[in-house]
Amino acid sequence: MAVTDTHTAVDAERDPRGDDPEYAANLRRATLASSIGSALEYFDFALYGLSTALIFNVLFFDQSNPAMATVLAFATFGVGFVARPFGGLFFGTLGDKLGRKWVLVVTILLMGGASTAIGLLPTYAQIGIWAPILLVLMRLLQGFGAGAEQAGATVLMAEYAPVKRRGFFSALPFVGIQAGTLLAAVVFSLISLLPEDQLLTWGWRVPFLASFVLILVALFIRMRLRETPTFIELEKHEQITDRPIREIFGHGLPGVIVGIGLRMAENGGSYMLNTLALTFFVATAGASADKSLLTWGVTLGSLIGIFSVPLTGALSDRWGRRRVYRLGALFLLLYSFPAWWALTLGDHVIAIIVIALGIGFGVNVMLGAQCAMLPEMFGNRHRYLGVAMAREISAVLAGGLAGVLGAYLIAVSDGNWVLLAVYMAVLALITTAATYLVPETLRRDLTRTDDAVKVSREEAGPGVSSTTVTIRTVEW
């Protein structure tokens, strides 16, 4: 591979931190701190998504129109995504000004506290309209905290990781995503075995209340963590910006836009397969659908992801981030139509396989490459904010919209699978196109303050706007 782009420069072959025992100890702490936070976030979000399709629509909304109750329940699911960009903007700014560590301490408390509180909420039958209002409020707080949690974990691990193995190490905390999703699916499968009256009275509350344990563990580890080496470099050279928002909108906006495109298939496809596929299967299979059995598709997909995410992260260290990312996007594109058609067959085993393969390989191949790629796209002065904006705006446009729009399409089309297949294929096409708009970021120096994708006024040709995005590429 011959790198010709001065904006994707390769770090020195030898990382001098590798022989430092203190660095090795902090690398282990960073991996644990990021992984447990990721596990908590996705345990809560996966649990909420599963509950949305099967519990919240019954307990928190008027049942005079069950189909509309399901749409409204998914709307509360989407509300959390609306809050995430605001949380990313607020905490991302603090992360670039004050450091990565303390922001991650605050976000884990906010996100986990709101999730625990959901387990204490009264239902529609108990307090009427106040039940969905309180649910929305907790979902907003949950989303506000989560808006910077995953971005912070991504940045923290990329900045700690050894240069030549950054893809692999950056992917390790995202095993927490799979572990959290896996744990949520297993727990939900178990509580679904309860008699329906017990499930709808106290059973569904138990996993939300249990998330408090994860909060305590994550908080203990994060309090012992040192600040990242690259942020320490900023402090040492007095390069910390006072206005990260101005920087990201003045210089980093092209990277944010490309990052949003990269996330459309990964995030949107994930939530379509994690939550919407269950709703679609129940709507088409009717009374024969076994809800507890179907969640094993998510469980197996997450189990596959525990291996496929770090594996593809390691492959991105050898093949490059773009190549691996594009492979995952193309897989999901080709998978869309046969997958949604197969869900119409009403066969539980086929449905479990479809969901597991889509999550385990389609979504997680992209995620494995993304772990290092997004932090590498942004300069050191506004990296936290840039990653947060790319992740959370895309979470609204892809993940948040997927549930509401998908549930609406199921309701108005009487379960037409083609519309859902087209929807997922469009998301995959957007991400595939985005992989051609970003330069290869493999081994990029994270102490640099310039972005990999940037606005260039000097190189804009005659008649070209000064805000044209100029993207430099890599020769392979």
Annotated domain spans of the chain: 22-225+242-470
Residue 136, burial from CB neighbour count under 10 angstroms (0-12, 13-18, 19+): middle
Question: Which pLDDT does position 467 carry in this prediction?
Answer: 37
| Chain segment 430-462, per-residue pLDDT in tens | 999 999 999 999 989 888 888 888 654 333 333
Query: Which of the residue ranges 3-12, 117-126, 426-435 would you say has the lowest mean pLDDT?
Result: 3-12
Selected residue with higher pLDDT from 407 and 238 = 407
| Chain segment 5-25, per-residue pLDDT in tens | 434 444 444 455 555 677 777
- The helix (run of H) or strand (run of E) holding residue 157 is helix 130-160
Query: Of the candidates 180, 175, 179, 185, which has an alpha carbon nearest to the alpha carbon of residue 296?
Result: 185
**pLDDT of 33 over the 50 cut:** yes
406 touches 423 (CB < 8 A): yes
Tell me the CATH number for domain 22-225+242-470. 1.20.1250.20
CB atoms within 10 A of CB 280: 24
Distance in angstroms (rounded) separating the CA atoms of residues 311 and 313: 5
Residue 454 is given by DSSP the state E
Query: Of the candidates 146, 401, 165, which has an alpha carbon nearest to the alpha carbon of residue 269?
Result: 401
| Chain segment 312-356, per-residue pLDDT in tens | 999 999 999 999 999 999 999 999 999 999 998 888 899 999 999
Using DSSP, how many helices (H) and how many strands (E) does the chain show? Answer: 22, 2
Question: Which pLDDT does position 291 carry in this prediction?
Answer: 64
Question: Which pLDDT does position 412 carry in this prediction?
Answer: 82
Question: Which pLDDT does position 456 carry in this prediction?
Answer: 43
Distance in angstroms (rounded) separating the CA atoms of residues 371 and 178: 14
Which percentage of the chain shows pLDDT scores above 70? 89
Selected residue with higher pLDDT from 467 and 219 = 219
Selected residue with higher pLDDT from 118 and 10 = 118
**pLDDT of 281 over the 70 cut:** yes
Distance in angstroms (rounded) separating the CA atoms of residues 384 and 247: 12
Distance in angstroms (rounded) separating the CA atoms of residues 57 and 202: 16
Question: Which pLDDT does position 287 carry in this prediction?
Answer: 64
- pTM of the predicted protein model: 0.78
* Average pLDDT along the chain: 81
Question: Which pLDDT does position 290 carry in this prediction?
Answer: 73
Question: Which pLDDT does position 18 carry in this prediction?
Answer: 54
Query: Which of the residue ranges 287-291, 329-333, 390-394 would you say has the lowest mean pLDDT?
Result: 287-291
Question: Which pLDDT does position 296 carry in this prediction?
Answer: 84
Selected residue with higher pLDDT from 107 and 67 = 107
Selected residue with higher pLDDT from 125 and 266 = 266
**pLDDT of 473 over the 60 cut:** no
**pLDDT of 463 over the 70 cut:** no
Residue 362 is given by DSSP the state I
Section 103-115 average pLDDT: 84
- The pLDDT confidence band at residue 72, using thresholds 50, 70 and 90, is confident
Residue type, 338: P
Q: Cα–Cα distances in Å, from 205 out to 19, 200, 209, 294, 335?
A: 48, 9, 6, 21, 35
